[in-house]
Amino acid sequence: MKFLFVTVFLSVYARSVISLFCYWNTGCPYNYFSSRTPYNAARGDIRDSVIKLTDCEPISIWGLVRHGKRNPGAELALTMKNAIVIREYVVSSYENGNSSLCAQDIENLRELGADYGMFENAYQLSEEGYQEMMDIGKRFKQAFPKLLNKLESQSYTFRPAFGNWMQKSAEGFVNGLANGNLDIEKATTDFDIMDPYTTCGKYQRDVKKNPEIYLESNKYLETTEFLATKDRIQRRLGIDYPLTNENISALYDLCRYTWSSKDKMSPWCALFTTEDLKVLEYAGDLKHYYRNGYGNSINALLGQIPLSDLFKSFQLAKDGKGKKIIAYFTHATMMDMLYTALNLFKDDVELTGALRNPDRKWRTSKLSIFGANMFAVLNRCNRENKTDYNVVFYLNEEPLKPICEQGVCTWEEFENKFKTMNSNTDMCQFKSVPYI
Ligand SMILES: *[C@@H]1O[C@H](CO)[C@@H](O)[C@H](O)[C@H]1NC(C)=O
Ligand SMILES: *[C@@H]1O[C@H](CO)[C@@H](O)[C@H](O)[C@H]1NC(C)=O
Ligand SMILES: *[C@@H]1O[C@H](CO)[C@@H](O)[C@H](O)[C@H]1NC(C)=O
């Protein structure tokens, strides 16, 4: 009798506790969506964080920028489109009293259209993505007014990796920087320093197209942590339709691709609790870690290629023959490889499917976000009639402190770190032909 009372009490209590989580009125919704994190969720602001050193002036800027928010590719778009029907199941389970979602979340979900422009324009830069790029350009201009106010021809280089969304990202950045009228170099389908992996045979064969790189992230999908998450989602939605990993992944994509910095949140995200989102985020971290990061040794070598370009560019600038600004536009893959080449955000213990360390350094939601960027600024300093140089690093508009003291490298430190960076593709062994 007593036992019965306790269980009845507990189940009533548990129901009301569960239904307390509403997404629509969460003051600060979790918006770390691995490589689909909006730039505004994780950026700093170069206007506030620019390091001003007395007796120094910036003379050259070099940067690598990931494209802004873009639409899903065609295959993913189809999977996402198919999953939209799950919304009907959720709404009717709510009406039957079987779902513990909140009334307002259900209403927002019900009112969502099913007609998403992003499905028709695979891989295109979204409006929000263009805006992200333009805003970065604007802020850089404000942070470095003397250097960037007037960009004569020959004083700059802007070049995207191949692809329409890369080109548009470069245009957005340049428009923010200079209201257009600057030339953007043509992308090449051949080897280029901002995406050397696309033509790198060994990388394409042994890493990119090798299913084994997903071993750890697949293992994670079998852990009790992941299975509990899956079960939690299924019970919250209260639907009879048994959700597969693919279904959950498609719903997660609907959440993160429709989440907008402007309107703040997507009703699709109401299907997940913060804990669920953290679990899904880790599955993404594992993929990036093995495909582009510390999980494979070729990644660091590929990441060194643009860094050797940075070194050469600043050497020229130091000799008075450099550019005011160089910026390349590329994929998350390159950003991940860059961090790896610089030995940044490296955990002491390898990331594996067996354990999600909440304090890990490798977090794609901070590192491989839409619009992610790393900039280096070369300063010329005149102290006691002596000219000296230093290099300041910024990641997503904040000083990149782990690289040198407070993010500021003396020229000697810079030279020591960067002069040995690999600039060739010998490790690729053979050339792979992309884009056919
Ligand atoms: C759920 O996933 C399975 C494959 O795991 C797929 O066949 C099915 O179409 C998906 N359902 C929806 C509604 O997308
Ligand atoms: C709601 O849950 C009850 C009890 O588990 C079940 O019998 C019923 O079929 C469910 N209804 C729907 C629409 O899922
Ligand atoms: C710097 O140079 C100026 C002019 O050449 C000279 O007058 C001054 O004493 C020098 N200052 C120092 C600290 O050497």
Q: Which atom of ligand 1 is nearest to the CA of 82?
A: 14
Burial class of residue 21 in the structure, from the number of CB atoms within 10 Å of its CB (0-12 exposed, 13-18 middle, 19+ buried): middle
Supply the pLDDT for residue 16: 45
Q: How far apart are CA 429 and CA 324, in angstroms?
A: 35
Q: How far apart are CA 144 and CA 378, in angstroms?
A: 12
Q: For the packed helices 274-292 and 332-341, what is the interaxial angle rounded to 10 degrees?
A: 70
Q: Is 217 in the pocket of ligand 2 (CB under 6 A)?
A: no
Q: Which residue from 192, 199, 215 is spatially nearest to 427, judged by alpha carbons?
A: 199
Residue among 91, 92, 93, 96 whose CB has most ligand 2 atoms within 8 A, to mutate: 96
Q: How far apart are CA 399 and CA 408, in angstroms?
A: 8
Supply the pLDDT for residue 112: 85
pLDDT digits (tens, 9 = 90+) for 118-133: 898 999 999 999 999 9
Q: Is 296 in the pocket of ligand 2 (CB under 6 A)?
A: no
Confidence of residue 88 (pLDDT cuts 50, 70, 90): very high
The percentage of the chain sitting over the pLDDT mark of 70, rounded to a whole number, equals 94
Q: Which atom of ligand 3 is nearest to the CA of 385?
A: 1
pLDDT digits (tens, 9 = 90+) for 13-66: 444 444 467 898 888 889 999 999 999 999 999 999 999 999 999 999 999 999
392 vs 260 pLDDT, higher one? 392
Site residues for ligand 1, CB cut-off 6 Å: 82-83, 85-86, 244, 246-247, 250
DSSP 8-class letter at 359: T
Residue that has been written with the tokens 């422009």 in this structure: 117
Supply the pLDDT for residue 13: 46
Residue 12 has pLDDT above 60, yes or no: no
- Gyration radius of the chain over CA positions: 24
Supply the pLDDT for residue 116: 75
Supply the pLDDT for residue 260: 83
The percentage of the chain sitting over the pLDDT mark of 90, rounded to a whole number, equals 86
Supply the pLDDT for residue 137: 98
**Closest residue to atom 9 of ligand 2, CA basis:** 240
pLDDT digits (tens, 9 = 90+) for 354-374: 999 999 999 999 999 999 999
Supply the pLDDT for residue 20: 62
CA 385 to ligand 3 center in whole angstroms: 6
**Closest residue to atom 6 of ligand 3, CA basis:** 385
**Closest residue to atom 14 of ligand 1, CA basis:** 83
pLDDT digits (tens, 9 = 90+) for 183-232: 999 999 999 999 999 999 999 999 999 999 999 999 999 999 999 999 99
Q: Which domains does the chain have, with CATH numbers?
A: 29-70+127-219+285-428 (3.40.50.1240)
Supply the pLDDT for residue 169: 98
CA 97 to ligand 2 center in whole angstroms: 8
Ligand of minimum distance to the alpha carbon of 246: 1
Confidence of residue 435 (pLDDT cuts 50, 70, 90): low
Supply the pLDDT for residue 261: 76
Supply the pLDDT for residue 28: 84
Computed over every residue of the chain, the mean pLDDT equals 93
**Closest residue to atom 2 of ligand 3, CA basis:** 385
Residue 8 has pLDDT above 70, yes or no: no
pLDDT digits (tens, 9 = 90+) for 269-326: 999 999 999 999 999 999 999 999 999 999 999 999 999 999 999 999 999 999 999 9
Confidence of residue 263 (pLDDT cuts 50, 70, 90): low
- Segment holding 326, helix H or strand E: strand 325-330
What value does the mean pLDDT take over residues 380-384?
A: 94
Residue 11 has pLDDT above 70, yes or no: no
